[in-house]
Amino acid sequence: MKNIRNFCIIAHIDHGKSTLADRLLEATGTVTDREKQDQLLDNMDLERERGITIKSHAIQMEYVYKGENYILNLIDTPGHVDFSYEVSRSIAACEGALLIVDAAQSIQAQTISNLYLALENDLEIIPVLNKVDLPSANVEEVTDDIVDLLGCKAEEVIPASAKTGLGIDEILSAIIERIPPPKGNPDESLQALIFDSVYNPFRGVETYFRVLNGEIRKGQHIKFMATGKSYFADEVGTLRLKQFPRDVIKTGDVGYLITGIKEAKEVKVGDTITDSKSPTVNMIAGFEDVKPMVFAGIYPVDTEDYEELRNSMEKLQLNDASLVFVPESSMALGFGFRCGFLGMLHLEIIQERLEREFDMTVITTVPNVSYHAFSNKDPETPILVNNPSDLPDPSKLNRVEEPYIKATIITKSDFVGSVMSLCIEKRGEITNQTYLTTERVELTFDMPLAEIVFDFYDRLKTVSKGYASFDYSPIGLRMSHLVKVDVLLNGNIVDALSALLHRDNAYDIGKKICEKLRQLIPRQQFDIPIQAAIGAKIIARETVKALRKDVTAKCYGGDISRKRKLLEKQKKGKKRMRQVGNVEIPQEAFMAVLKLND
Give 46's contacts (C-beta < 8 A, 6+ positions apart): 54, 349, 352, 353, 356
pLDDT digits (tens, 9 = 90+) for 529-583: 888 988 888 888 888 887 777 777 777 777 788 788 888 887 777 777 666 666 6
How high is the pLDDT of residue 203? Answer: 81
Bridge partners (DSSP) of residue 235 are 258
CA distances from 102 to 4, 106, 133, 485 (A): 28, 6, 11, 44
Question: Using CA atoms, how far apart are residues 23 and 14, in angstroms rounded to an integer?
Answer: 16
131 is in an annotated binding site: yes
Indicate whether this model's pTM tops 0.75: no
Burial letters 561-584, b for 16+ CB under 10 A, else e: eeeeeeeeeeeeebeeebeeeebe
Q: Tell me, what amino acid is at 285?
A: A
pLDDT, average across residues 426-454: 84
pLDDT exceeds cutoff 80 at 38:
no
19 is in an annotated binding site: yes
- E-strand stretches of 272-323: 272-275, 294-300
User: Quick one: CATH architecture of 4-178?
Assistant: 3-Layer(aba) Sandwich (3.40)
How high is the pLDDT of residue 112? Answer: 76
Q: Where are the domains of the chain?
A: 4-178, 191-275, 294-365, 371-480, 484-594
Question: Using CA atoms, how far apart are residues 245 and 257, in angstroms rounded to an integer?
Answer: 9
Question: Using CA atoms, how far apart are residues 139 and 449, in angstroms rounded to an integer?
Answer: 37
15 is in an annotated binding site: yes
CA distances from 210 to 122, 191, 218 (A): 17, 9, 15
Average pLDDT for the chain: 79
User: Quick one: CATH architecture of 371-480?
Assistant: 2-Layer Sandwich (3.30)
What DSSP element (H or E) covers 145? Answer: helix 139-150
Q: Kindly indicate the confidence band of residue 591, based on its pLDDT and cuts at 50, 70 and 90.
A: low
Return the HEC string of 504-567: HHHHHHHHHHHHHHHHHCCCCCCCEEEEEEECCEEEEEEEECCCCCCHHHHCCCCCHHHHHHHH
132 is in an annotated binding site: yes
Q: What's the CATH superfamily of 191-275?
A: Translation factors (2.40.30.10)
User: Quick one: CATH architecture of 484-594?
Assistant: 2-Layer Sandwich (3.30)
550 is in an annotated binding site: no
Helix (H, G, I), strand (E, B) or coil at 595: helix
CATH class of 294-365: alpha beta
pLDDT digits (tens, 9 = 90+) for 99-153: 888 887 777 767 777 787 788 778 888 888 888 888 877 788 888 888 887 877 8
pLDDT exceeds cutoff 80 at 275:
yes
Q: Tell me, what amino acid is at 161?
A: S
How high is the pLDDT of residue 258? Answer: 87
pLDDT digits (tens, 9 = 90+) for 232-267: 888 888 877 677 888 888 887 888 888 877 776 677
Same fold, 191-275 and 371-480: no
Q: Kindly indicate the confidence band of residue 47, based on its pLDDT and cuts at 50, 70 and 90.
A: low
pLDDT digits (tens, 9 = 90+) for 170-222: 888 888 888 888 887 788 888 888 877 777 778 888 888 888 888 888 888 88
The least confident of 283-292, 358-367, 575-584 is: 575-584
State residue 137 phi and psi, 5-degree precision. Answer: -70, 135
Q: Kindly indicate the confidence band of residue 476, based on its pLDDT and cuts at 50, 70 and 90.
A: confident
